[in-house]
Structure 1
Amino acid sequence: MTTLTLPARDRAQLTCARVRVDRGGRTVLHDVEMKVSPGSRWGVVGENGRGKSTLLYVLAGLLTPDEGTVHRVGTLALAEQEMPVEDERTVGDFIDEHLADARAALRALDTAAEALAAEHPGGEQAYADALEAARTLDAWDADRRVDVALDGLGAVSDRTRLLATLSVGRRYRIRLACLLGAEYDFLLLDEPTNHLSIALVDELTEALHSTDAAVVVATHDRQMRRDISGWPHLALAPRRQGEQGRPCPARA
């Protein structure tokens, strides 16, 4: 039986407390605290090397902090700054990866429906569980959501196209569209404006405002920072030797 990862929606939680990360003999993050609520928007700002990417890795569970705690409930996706240069996948393969749970939920529902029709023991409960999972994922609408996001970001929608034949910017757009269409509880975006035109930055910001997912954007891009100036933000600044303070959340 396939194990599905279901979104937590209103029950989703993403918090970190007193996080410290040391790298190469220096403290990259010190005493960082953050609480990302369902549907909220956050900007993590600061110049290069201030720990923005490191914080996203910590929140995503890809990096264990040297000190502090991280708590996650719900589904999460991280868009890193870089994407593989040599990529044998097609656009369709990439979409399928992000919609894997939705696809599996619909297959499980079909299987449960057959078992129910055949009056197998436990068939009624299995069908009810499968139906609830499909509804939670809104699985029937998953492909349409991705198609809408692809169109909105001006991304390639031909699912037979090889990613390796596309420019970095075009691949970025496809990834962003998949992240938006998959409806994760949390989206962590690391410098998402890389390789995007000014017009597409505005379209991306509009899409991020519209999504139901909670969004954390790490950026030093001036236009992006201006576009998200109304969001709560966490400013990461360099620590002076002996300084004991921590970066504090503030509203821009």
Structure 2
Amino acid sequence: MIHLNRISRHHGNQILFDNASLQILPGTRTGLVGPNGAGKTTIFRLIVGEEMPDGGDISRSPKIRIGYFSQDVGDMAGRSALEEVMAAVGDVLALGEDIRKMEASMAEPMDEDALTQLLERYGEAVESFEHQGGYELESRAQSVLTGLGIGPDAYHRPVEAFSGGWKMRIALAKILTTNPDVLLLDEPTNHLDLESILWLENWLVSTFKGALLMTCHDQEFMNRIVSRIIEIGNGAATTYTGNYDFYIREREIRREQLEASFKRQQDMLAKEEEFIAKFAARASHAAQVQSRVKKLEKIERIVLPPDQKRIRFTFDTPPRSGDDVVSMENLGKTWQTPEGGLHSVFGGISGMIRRGDKVAVVGVNGAGKSTFLQVLAKRTEPSTGKVTIGANVHTGYFSQHAMDILHPEKSVLDTVQDALPTAGLGVIRNLCAAFLFQGDDVYKRIDKLSGGEKSRVVLATLLARPLNFLILDEPTNHLDIQSREVLLEALQAFEGTVLIVSHDRHFLRSLVGRVFEIDHGRMIPYEGSYDYYLRKQMALQTG
């Protein structure tokens, strides 16, 4: 379908690709992985023609339809949500109108040759219309919008009324509704809650029949969808046949084999060079020396890719809190609506969070998870009941708005240093490195950082402070897989108490031992792991 052959691409002095090749074949489900800046988004842009290669060529099967979802949704205005999605299939709608006109023409008298030509055009148009799902366009658009969390009550809201995150969902709905032959998804889960992620996962597995190429920071989502991985890095594209977990294992095996081959080659080269140096001045060995020199010139040298080193940072043991960290008694919260009424978010919540607990707060979108965390973090007062914070509890709170308080003109190093004024420069640099800011990256200004990089700065300053109760609202948003693993390892080793909202199932599965579900304004505690909670949910659904 799509072939990138011996592609070369440079951005300034940076070599992204050097004779790299990859293929997208019909029906394949491929994950695109690699470190930030390796060129994953460039691959998408090359495929759709937004960029051109410096060398090599790109071939595409004729008439294939490509759908590309990127993080840049562009401007949206002047339409409702449903109209915006339907606009993405305007060519199909126009084709449907042409079909109706041809049907009307066929009812009129005409000579045999004209009728034959019309019937031929009509057959081609109907075949194309059916292939693109033209007969169920509106119902498909509605189904996709609903699956992504924009229900019938919001179909006709103007797109200007939606926040940036919800506009991303509308943009994703547009691409899915086109039902392309090749679907390119660049971080499709970034702005989705767990319910929408599960819907998208099911849609890709059971409904979508085309080829898929995607990047994604959600490890479990990737594992469930893809059966092939293409790794971008060091100017090359390397293919692995398997899901993400297979890729991690196979990559390690391949690296060990490459290191062994490298060592054998280096030993051989050393012996040959030693012989050449020893006998270069002897006429009796001139032929042998010349033969070995030519042999070395022809050998293709094995080059080891840079080792992606992970620096482990040992966090200080937080001060010990009392056994009872948070006590909730008949807790409730209401918000005033724009119309002046009252909206009950939750009520009647009672319970206890104990020292050392790692608790996930789950629930459908809009259930009140973030509000619940704000109440416990003392960012807003409860409307009813009370929250009692235990003895010697020092609370740290992370929300998506935490990034807004970073000083835009300060560097990463200055920001971390401000949060830990008594720490030495070595400690500060090690902390920055643990959160993937190494070398000159520590001098980057905050306003030049991506959303994921800003999140890492905030998390670094939070985890390094003497806190023993962390309240984390979607800390994994915008973090790539490597950054998520850094955070996960830090929280697993953290000796304090954690309350967390996250839509990353792998993250929750690996961390929490209790689950609080917010459901229809009530809290249901599950005294077990995230897997235990899922099993209980499955049992309830199957009756």
TM-score (norm 1): 0.83
Q: Which amino acid aligns with 1:53?
A: T
Q: 2:210 aligned to 209, 213, 230, which one?
A: 213
Aligned ranges 1:1-252 → 2 under 5 Å: 13-73=1-61, 74-84=64-74, 87-121=77-111, 122-123=114-115, 124-125=118-119, 126-157=121-152, 158-210=154-206, 211-228=208-225, 230-237=226-233, 239=234, 246-251=236-241, 252=246
Q: Deviations over 1:182-213 (max 9, x none)?
A: 21101111111222224433332222222112
Q: Deviations over 1:6-51 (max 9, x none)?
A: xxxxxxx111111111002111123222211222111001221111
Q: What CA distance in whole angstroms lies between the structure 2 residues aligned with 1:173 and 1:43?
A: 21
C-alpha distance 137-221 of structure 1, shift in aligned 2 (>3 A): closer
Between Structure 1 and Structure 2, which shows a larger proportion of helix residues?
Answer: 2
Aligned residue for 2:166, secondary structure, equals: helix
Question: In the alignment, is the contact (CA less than 8 A) between 1:85 and 1:164 conserved in 2?
Answer: no
Larger Rg: 2
C-alpha distance 149-115 of structure 1, shift in aligned 2 (>3 A): same
Q: Which amino acid aligns with 2:125?
A: A
What is the alpha-carbon root mean square deviation over aligned residues? Answer: 2.2
Q: CA deviation at 1:85?
A: 5.9
The 10-residue stretch of structure 1 (219-228 or 17-26) with the greater mean CA deviation from structure 2: 219-228
Aligned residue for 2:27, secondary structure, equals: coil
Q: CA deviation at 1:147?
A: 1.8
Question: In the alignment, is the contact (CA less than 8 A) between 1:98 and 1:179 conserved in 2?
Answer: yes
C-alpha distance 182-102 of structure 1, shift in aligned 2 (>3 A): same
Aligned residue for 1:236, secondary structure, equals: strand
Q: What CA distance in whole angstroms lies between the structure 2 residues aligned with 1:95 and 1:159?
A: 10
Question: In the alignment, is the contact (CA less than 8 A) between 1:143 and 1:181 conserved in 2?
Answer: no
Q: CA deviation at 1:98?
A: 1.7
Q: What CA distance in whole angstroms lies between the structure 2 residues aligned with 1:148 and 1:92?
A: 11
Q: CA deviation at 1:223?
A: 4.4
Larger RCO of the pair (alpha carbons < 8 Å, separation 6+)? 1
Aligned residue in 2 for 1:5: none
Give the gaps of 5 or more residues in structure 1.
Answer: 1-12, 240-244
Number of aligned residues: 233
Q: What CA distance in whole angstroms lies between the structure 2 residues aligned with 1:86 and 1:152?
A: 20
Q: What CA distance in whole angstroms lies between the structure 2 residues aligned with 1:55 and 1:38?
A: 18
Q: What CA distance in whole angstroms lies between the structure 1 residues aligned with 2:180 and 2:165?
A: 22
Q: What CA distance in whole angstroms lies between the structure 2 residues aligned with 1:207 and 1:231?
A: 16
Q: Deviations over 1:140-178 (max 9, x none)?
A: 112222222222222244443222211222222222223
Aligned residue for 2:236, secondary structure, equals: coil
Percentage of pairs with the same residue: 25
Give the gaps of 5 or more residues in structure 2.
Answer: 247-543
Aligned residue for 2:173, secondary structure, equals: helix
Q: Which amino acid aligns with 1:36?
A: I
Q: What CA distance in whole angstroms lies between the structure 1 residues aligned with 2:136 and 2:91?
A: 13
Question: In the alignment, is the contact (CA less than 8 A) between 2:82 and 2:142 conserved in 1?
Answer: no
Question: In the alignment, is the contact (CA less than 8 A) between 1:16 and 1:34 conserved in 2?
Answer: yes
C-alpha distance 156-83 of structure 1, shift in aligned 2 (>3 A): farther
Q: Deviations over 1:66-124 (max 9, x none)?
A: 11111112000111112236644432332222221221121011110111101235244
C-alpha distance 195-127 of structure 1, shift in aligned 2 (>3 A): closer
Question: In the alignment, is the contact (CA less than 8 A) between 1:116 and 1:127 conserved in 2?
Answer: no
Question: In the alignment, is the contact (CA less than 8 A) between 1:112 and 1:130 conserved in 2?
Answer: no
Question: In the alignment, is the contact (CA less than 8 A) between 2:86 and 2:138 conserved in 1?
Answer: no
Aligned residue for 1:102, secondary structure, equals: helix
The 10-residue stretch of structure 1 (82-91 or 63-72) with the greater mean CA deviation from structure 2: 82-91
